[in-house]
A and B are shown apart, each in its own frame.
Chain A
Amino acid sequence: MITKTVNQKAWFLVLPVLLIVALNAVIPLMTVVNYSVQDTFSPGVFFFEGTKWYKEVLSSPRFHGALGRQFLYTAIILAIEIPLGVLVALAMPRKGPWVSACLVLMALPLLIPWNVVGAMWNIFALPDIGLLGYGLNWLGFDYNYTQQPVSAWMTVILMDVWHWTSLVVLLAYAGLSSIPDAYYQAAKIDGASAFAVFRYIQLPKMKRVLIIALLLRFMDSFMVYTEPFVLTGGGPGNSTTFLSIDLVKAAIGEFNLGIAAAMSILYFLMTLLVCWVFYTAMMRGEES
């Protein structure tokens, strides 16, 4: 059925937002597109290169490596944080004096800035003086995140899980809190098992918030920069050089603005595609 929109004046109300977005997102993005087709050697001096940087980036083993590490990192983060967050939310009390205490405790890691988290874990995981590093070596594990790629990966992942699982917990808890008691009472009357209650009541009711959690955690972990940079600086070697770290190295460290801009556009396209997929999934979930 074709319906005509009656009042178009409401569109003018979004104009302020449009202006802000134009200033802080669209204009910088346009500039990055301009840089991605040019080379520069000094401020204000540009040479048109066409699609050269895109071809170079797309065939660069360095970019492929950083992209592969980025996807692996994001996949591991999501595989750990989403189920763990749901489990913790299920274990948290719904009523009583402990609710506030649990919520505050869960919110604490989220309040700490990224660079502080990186610095904290940098010291915490040092093999000679850090509690974690020293403890693991004392227990007989060969652990040194400054020299071993596996140790560095474990530390970077553990740090992210520590910092961001709380976000999933809080979202999942909000989803669980919105389920009316009548659902649980009906399940009890039917003699449903704890798993059946989770599968047919809690999980469907949490679906929407979990998609939001998945989207937020995907975006944050896919764009992660500060925490691993402060902790490992992208090393040892290039083992924890993720896409954003590589991008900053190219742009600021090497002053390859053309390559960095082409990488940024490809990065942006990947993020945009995933956002659209999540948004579509969320909207479909809402309709169903």
Chain B
Amino acid sequence: MKPLAWMAWTWPTGAFFIFIAVCLITMFVWEMVKPGGDPRVGVLGLDTTRGDRLFISLLGSAYIHVAWLGLTDLPLWWGSVVCGFFALAVFRWV
């Protein structure tokens, strides 16, 4: 039996978790190079740090994907593109 075969890895799920890991590492490096400083108040009226904005982006993206699957028959990649714009908006204005 291959190592970690019980986890039933696939390329898409592996790529997904690598993406999450890359996001976290990027945030870490960004913070080391250029600290984000104190939380700021955005359009939602919430105090958010960069980490908070990443969390909101990831959680919001998960919901966008779920809504995409549940409400449309369009390719999921289009939903991922929408999520990309959503994340940019969150980092810019939230």
Contact = CB atoms under 8 A, between A and B. Distances in A.
Interface of A: 1-5, 8, 27, 30-31, 33-35, 37-38, 40, 44, 46, 48, 50-51, 54-55, 58-59, 266, 269, 272-273, 276, 280, 283-284, 287
Interface in B50-78: 55, 59, 62-63, 66, 69-70, 76
A5 B16 contact: no
Chain B residues touching A, range: 20 to 34
Interface string B1-36: 100011111101100110000000000000010010
Interface of B: 1, 5-10, 12-13, 16-17, 32, 35, 37-38, 46-47, 55, 59, 62-63, 66, 69-70, 76
A31 B59 contact: no
B25 to A, nearest CB: 14
25 contacts: A2-B35, A2-B37, A3-B38, A8-B32, A30-B13, A31-B8, A33-B13, A34-B8, A34-B9, A34-B10, A34-B13, A44-B1, A44-B5, A46-B8, A46-B10, A48-B12, A51-B76, A58-B70, A269-B62, A273-B59, A276-B55, A276-B59, A280-B46, A283-B47, A284-B47
A30 B12 contact: no
A5 B1 CA distance: 46
Given A31-B7, A31-B8, A34-B10, 20 more contacts: A1-B37, A1-B38, A2-B35, A2-B37, A27-B7, A33-B13, A34-B8, A34-B13, A38-B8, A46-B10, A48-B12, A54-B66, A55-B69, A58-B66, A58-B70, A59-B70, A266-B66, A269-B62, A272-B59, A284-B47
A2 B10 contact: no
Nearest to A33: B13
